[in-house]
């Protein structure tokens, strides 16, 4: 058991018989006779639904011990994504709802950590940032405006909004959780010897 003020992103807790993955927490101090509050953002590991409860800082919660294994992504169907343990070749099917919108970053052969509780997968730990090449967008325009955006499709099929100066073939970084453009990846110039 832990108290709510000890909640951290990445933990798993059981509340009223349901298992939740902690995505974010924020503690607010109270003043005077007002007690503080712990704001949290949780994802139900079975349905994928988000919940944003508030807890008293001293409220007791049941934290769960997770087993993390690195597994290789194989393929996805309409309902599930299939992963394989490189050590045992055992395959595990994870519901797509559990992975969420970040599923588009998965490429066959990609190794990702999967967290298990009681032998069942409860979350797939995706990288926070994705680097991908722009497959389709309007031609680049170099203007002085930084706040004008256009639609672009990445090689993995993900749709993002990018600045006007980004063109087809450019590598961009995207926040996996929000799907927002972060920056264009600069090409590294090789120097000859």
Tokens of 65: 């011990």
Tokens of 110: 């990609």
Q: Could you read off the pLDDT of 70-93 as tens digits, one per residue?
A: 999 999 888 889 999 999 999 999
For residues 75 and 65, what is the distance between their CA atoms, to the nearest angstrom? Answer: 28
Question: Which of the two residues, 107 and 35, has the higher pLDDT score?
Answer: 107
Res. 48: pLDDT tops 80:
no
Whole-number pLDDT of residue 32? 62
Whole-number pLDDT of residue 92? 92
Whole-number pLDDT of residue 152? 92
- DSSP 3-state helix, strand, coil percentages of the chain (rounded to 5)? 5, 50, 45
Burial 40-57, CB ≥16 within 10 A → b, else e: bbbbbbeeeeeeeeebeb
Cβ proximity of 158 and 181 under 8 Å? no
Outline which parts of the chain fall under CATH 2.30.30.30: 2-63
CATH of span 2-63 = 2.30.30.30
Q: Could you read off the pLDDT of 172-182 as tens digits, one per residue?
A: 999 887 788 99
CATH superfamily assigned to domain 129-184: Nucleic acid-binding proteins (2.40.50.140)
Sorted by sequence, the CB contacts under 8 Å of residue 135 that are 6+ apart come out as: 153, 154, 155, 168
Tally of CB atoms within 10 A around 72: 16
CATH class of the region 67-124: mainly beta
CA atoms within 13 A on the CB side of 29: 2
Dihedral of CA atoms 166, 171, 173, 177 in degrees, nearest 10, equals 100
Outline which parts of the chain fall under CATH 2.40.50.140: 67-124, 129-184
Residue whose tokens read 């120097």: 191
Whole-number pLDDT of residue 192? 52
Give the percent of the chain with pLDDT over 70: 92
Whole-number pLDDT of residue 144? 64
For residues 65 and 135, what is the distance between their CA atoms, to the nearest angstrom? Answer: 41
Q: How confident is the model over 29-55, as a mean pLDDT?
A: 82
Whole-number pLDDT of residue 177? 77
Whole-number pLDDT of residue 190? 55
Res. 16: pLDDT tops 80:
yes
């Amino acid at each position: 058991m832990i108290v709510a003020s000890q909640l951290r992103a990445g933990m798993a807790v059981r509340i009223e018989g349901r298992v939740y993955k902690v995505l974010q927490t924020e503690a607010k101090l109270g003043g005077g006779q007002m007690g503080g509050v712990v704001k949290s953002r949780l994802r139900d590991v079975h349905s994928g639904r988000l919940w944003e409860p508030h807890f008293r800082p001293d409220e007791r919660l049941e934290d769960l011990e997770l087993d993390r294994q690195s597994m290789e992504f194989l393929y996805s169907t309409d309902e599930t994504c299939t992963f394989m343990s490189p050590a045992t070749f055992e395959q595990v099917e994870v519901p797509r709802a559990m992975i969420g919108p970040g599923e588009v970053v998965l490429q066959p052969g990609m190794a990702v950590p999967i967290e298990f509780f009681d032998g069942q997968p409860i979350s797939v730990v995706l990288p926070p940032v994705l680097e991908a090449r722009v497959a389709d967008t309007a031609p680049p325009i170099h203007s002085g405006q930084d706040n004008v955006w256009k639609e672009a499709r990445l090689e993995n099929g993900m749709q993002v909004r990018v600045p006007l100066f980004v063109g087809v073939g450019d590598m961009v970084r995207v926040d996996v959780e929000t799907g927002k453009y972060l920056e264009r990846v600069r090409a590294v110039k090789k120097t000859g010897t």
